[in-house]
Structure 1
């Protein structure tokens, strides 16, 4: 079940990347750094999907990364369930 574990590990790593990208927003000009730009290229295409549908609360609090992580978890659980069904 290498694929099963790989999907879970990849999702965990991507979740940490999303969290890291959010934490960079707390520091001035951190997103313009090399690490911030790399994280932006990796995270923004996925989180941007949720930003289109979930506006910031009060114009300040952006909940789209949290919803993106929850959605990623549901996708991973679904994929792992399908793999378990097909391979067992």
Structure 2
């Protein structure tokens, strides 16, 4: 009987970890969008190592996932709605996976 509780506790911990991971990745996507907007309007210090490092990290982490949606969702003029769709899909699918793992 004790093994069932240990297994349920492990599933809960995995589900909590996955939920936290999804939250962090969603926040990273938001930060990437905001920094891209700020830097595109000239809010970037020229030849600044830290801004290049931050933007490079965010680009390397976010673009593979966002690129999947940019292939299918073209920008509407200057407005790119693919990050919005990507975040919605991430939250919906992630919520389903967390619910399935939790049981």
TM-score scaled by structure 2? Answer: 0.74
Higher relative contact order (CA 8 A, sep 6+): 2
Q: Which has the larger radius of gyration?
A: 2
Structure 2 partner of 1:15: 26
Task: Please point out which of 76, 84, 88 is paired with 1:70.
Answer: 88
Aligned CA RMSD, in angstroms, stands at 1.4
Gaps of 5+ in 2: 1-11, 45-50
Cα distance, 1:11 vs structure 2:
0.4
Structure 1 partner of 2:70: 51
Task: Work out the number of aligned pairs and report it.
Answer: 83
Deviations, residues 5-55 of structure 1 (Å, cap 9, x unaligned): 11111001000100011011222365x711000010000000100000011
Gaps of 5+ in 1: none
